[in-house]
Amino acid sequence: MSDWIVSLAGTPEGATLATFLALLAAILHAVFGALQKGRHSPLLSRGIIDASYGLMAAPVAFFVVPWPAPHMWPIFGVMMLIHLGYKAAQVASYQRGAYTVVYPVMRGTGPLFTVIGATIFFGEHFSLTQWAGVLTLLTGIYGLAFYNLRTITVDRETLVPALWLAVLTGLFVAAYTTYDAYGIRAANDPFTFLAWFFFLDGLTMPPVAWYAWRRMPDPPAFGPLALRGLIGGLVAMASFGSILLATRLDQVGQAAVLRETSTVFAALIGWLMLGERVGPRRLALMGLIAAGAVIVEMGG
């Protein structure tokens, strides 16, 4: 399969597959965010999810895929640092703000700077039509965030720091999207990169979460938390794996923009699963997000 993926890169068939993978990543990422923000502490959820996908990736990394080439180890080291910063900022934002407020800001900040990074590092260029799509998408995403900020009643006292942390998270999203795209392109085998990505990325947060769990006066039962971690680990592998393969097959910036339709799916999840309201104004703003993604895709 690795040879097939590599052979599709830069072809029309590869672009079509990349579009599908980016949209799949959007749906799954919204589910992943809800799993992390939901019933348990975001720090505990993140730790158990990371432990799950790290354990699942370990046998694949060590015994199935080819061993990484020597030049990949420094790339993996920088990758771990970027993702650690992203997770710390994301957990801090989730702990302070409502999901439907902070999630759109995180995801809206990411694609703009990812497109800029892809232009600088990969020589990609968006047409004027695609830039119009990016602006349309960002208008919908930030409009949704500010509307939620104005109308929501929970966590009001901590929303401002939560929003600043969400912006910082979005900058980390742009950094890891651009850098991971560089990493998977530098690897001889894309599935080697994916296996080692999940194994190494699963090493950092579990010890922190375990320490926090042990210090809680009334820690949650481990069984339900572990089940959430197992489900979240599978969703995370499918989501991040899809977007990484999409950036290997086609333009990094375009894949990043399409993934941010996850904000639409996040709003729906917030309504259906977390009991958060979705009215006509939110629906209109979500329509802008979807329209922006369509414009970017059609203008490419």
- Measured between alpha carbons, how far is residue 217 from residues 32, 212, 213, 214, 220 in Å? 27, 10, 9, 8, 10
Q: For residue 269, what pLDDT is reported?
A: 73
Range list of H helices, 97-221: 99-122, 128-151, 159-186, 190-201, 205-215
- pLDDT level of residue 36 (50, 70, 90 thresholds): low
pTM over 0.85: no
pLDDT score for 155:
62
Domain count, the chain: 1
Stretch 154-169: mean pLDDT, rounded?
80
- Is the predicted pLDDT of residue 166 greater than 60, yes or no? yes
Distance CA(43)–CA(41), nearest Å, equals: 5
Distance CA 180, CA 197 (A): 9
CB atoms within 10 A of CB 294: 15
> Alpha-carbon torsion 244, 249, 253, 256, what sign?
negative
Portion of the chain with pLDDT greater than 70, in percent: 93
The average pLDDT across 73-91 equals: 93
**pLDDT the model gives residue 182:** 92
To which residue do tokens 């977007």 refer? 243
Q: For residue 291, what are the domain limits?
A: 2-298
pLDDT digit string, tens, across residues 43-76: 888 889 999 999 999 999 999 999 999 999 999 9
CA distances for 196 relative to 62, 150, 157, angstroms: 9, 42, 40
Which of 131, 163, 133, 128 is closest to 149 using CA atoms? Answer: 163
Most confident of 86-100, 183-197, 216-230: 183-197
Burial zone of 38 (CB within 10 Å; 0-12 exposed, 13-18 middle, 19+ buried)? middle
pLDDT tens by residue, 115-158: 888 888 888 888 888 888 888 888 887 787 777 777 766 666 77
Query: What does pLDDT average to over the chain?
Result: 84
For 205-249, the pLDDT digits (tens) are 899 889 988 888 888 888 888 888 899 899 999 998 998 899 888
Q: Which two tokens stand for residue 101?
A: 């407020």
Query: What is residue 168's predicted lDDT score, i.e. its pLDDT?
Result: 92
**Mean pLDDT confidence for 266-293:** 73
Contact 121, 175 (CB under 8 A): no
- Is residue 144 within 8 A of residue 282, CB to CB? The reply is yes
Question: Three-state DSSP class for 168?
Answer: helix
